[in-house]
Amino acid sequence: MIIENRTVVTLNYRLTIAEEGIEIEVEKTSTEKPFIFLFGAGQLLPEFEKNLLGKSAGDTFDFLIDAENGYGLSDSQNIVSVPVNAFAGENGQYEPELLKVGAVLQMMDQDGNNYEGEIKEVNVDQVLMDFNHPLSDKQLHFIGEVVAVRQATLEELQHGHVHDPGGHHH
C-alpha cells in the first residue's frame, strides 16, 4: 500500500537543522516509539507530507524543507514585551527564578489561545518574549524510513487522528 490521503503511516526518522554549519539533531524516533500519523489530516507540514506521498513500507527518504515551507520566517511582531506582573501568582508575587533568559513558558492571550514563548530579556518591570516557533528560520532535514502504511479506520477518519491498537484514546 502506498502513502496517500486516508492512510495511517508509521515512520522512523531523524530531524536535523544546521547551526553555523554544524548539524544539530532536533528529534529522533525509534523502533520502540515510531511516529504514527493520519496522512492528509492537515496536522503536519504540507511539505513534509508532499515528500512522503506515494512511498510505501520499506522505502527510505532524505529530504530538506526550507524555512518558508517549514515553520516560517521569524516575525518581529512575535517578539513582545510583557509586563512582569503578568507572571504573578495568586498572591500577586512572581518567582524571579522562573523568569530566566532562555526559559520557555506557556502563555495565554485574552482569547484563551495558548502560546509558547522564550524569554529573551528580563528587566525590572518588563519581560521580552519571543513567540516565534523555535524552528522558524531553519531548514529542516528529514532522513528516515517508512515502516508501515495501512488504511485508516472509519473512526480514525471521523476523529482526524490515529487510534492505538487497543481502541479509542484521547
pLDDT single digits (tens) 10-19: 999 999 999 8
Rounded to whole angstroms, the Cα distance separating 159 from 161 reads 6
Judgement on whether residues 17 and 58 belong to the same structural domain of the protein: yes
Rounded to whole angstroms, the Cα distance separating 153 from 53 reads 19
pLDDT for 165 equals: 62
Domain membership of residue 48 (yes or no) is yes
Whose cell is 532522513? That residue is 143
pTM of the model: 0.82
Judgement on whether residues 102 and 51 belong to the same structural domain of the protein: no
CATH of the domain at 122: 2.40.10.330
Rounded to whole angstroms, the Cα distance separating 88 from 85 reads 5
Domain that holds residue 87: 76-130
Coil, helix or strand at residue 151: strand
Domain membership of residue 169 (yes or no) is no
Per residue in 103-145, pLDDT (tens digit) is 999 888 889 889 999 999 999 899 999 999 999 999 999 999 9
Per residue in 66-112, pLDDT (tens digit) is 999 999 999 999 999 999 888 887 777 777 778 899 999 988 888 98
